[in-house]
Amino acid sequence: MRVAQDLQWLNVLVGQPVPPDTGSARPWPQSSTATVAAGLPSSLLQRRPDLLAAYSRVEAANAGVGAAKAAMLPTISLTALAGGISGDLSTLLSSGNRSWAGVLGVSLPIFDWGRRSANITGNEERLAAAMASYEYAAQVAFRETANALIADDHMRPQLEAQHARVQALEKVASISRTRFRGGLEDYFSSQDAQRELYAEQQQLIEMQLKQAVNMVNLYKALGGGWRGA
């Protein structure tokens, strides 16, 4: 019953029927998450609902000012060719709390505060507010993506090491059982090897779960994954 209910929720979540064998048993401990693609473009973030909403507000305010449209996101790679966060994204985020007006390619005169008179129109005020809202949404998008990429970059080698440890302990436990059946090892030694294996298997499962949750966070940060990148 629980499986049927979860499949129904998945149908609602993705907006179409999912295969009935989704989530079925597979050889353990096979990974269930995809490898992050290299060279992901920042244009993927433009699919995020928060950025789409903020952009719509900018367009509406921009129509009142009559200024030319500006590029709203810097064109950079989010991931490096060797995996992990790219140098461009790290540099972008190192700007701290400074305005991203220049980084975002914004050339609207509303940002030229030092050379403008204080007498601005109401439409220009609305545009400035909309641009500030978009800038904040863009910062959130880039930082959420960076956080998920950094976490993935750290977890993958840890998972590989834990997987190798589990495989080694499986061999130890198998040899211990064989020795016990042959009378070469006592029962308690055999059980100790099995308990150590179970503990490491449990830790591997927990690490795989953390990786899967982080992958969901990355999909959300990118506005729906990286297909069609």
DSSP characters over 207-221? HHHHHHHHHHHHHHH
**Contact by Cβ (8 Å): 126, 57:** no
Q: Is 10 a domain residue?
A: no
Biggest distance spanned by C-alpha atoms of the chain? 94
Q: How far apart are CA 17 and CA 40, in angstroms?
A: 28
Helices (H), strands (E): how many in the chain? 5, 0
Domain count of the fold of the chain: 1
pLDDT tens-digit map of 71-111: 667 777 888 776 778 887 887 777 655 555 555 555 444 44
Q: Is 79 a domain residue?
A: yes
Residue 213 has pLDDT above 50, yes or no: yes
Contacts of 80 (CB under 8 A, 6+ apart): 38, 39, 86, 87
Domain that holds residue 207: 35-221
Q: Is 226 a domain residue?
A: no
Q: Is 157 a domain residue?
A: yes
**Contact by Cβ (8 Å): 124, 105:** no
pLDDT tens-digit map of 151-201: 988 998 999 999 999 999 999 999 999 988 888 888 888 899 999 999 999
Q: Is 60 a domain residue?
A: yes
Mean pLDDT score of the chain: 78
Q: Provide the residue type at 99 as one letter.
A: S
Q: Which residues pair with 79 in a beta bridge?
A: 85
Q: Is 183 a domain residue?
A: yes
Give the tokens for residue 145.
Answer: 């993506």
Whole-model pTM over 0.85: no
Distances (CA, A) of 47 to 78, 141, 220: 15, 11, 10
Neighbours of 213 (CB within 10 A): 13
Q: Is 8 a domain residue?
A: no
User: What is the rounded average pLDDT of the residues 209-224?
Assistant: 89
Q: Which residue has the tokens 């009935």?
A: 20
Q: Is 75 a domain residue?
A: yes
* Beta-sheet strands, E only, within 74-215: none
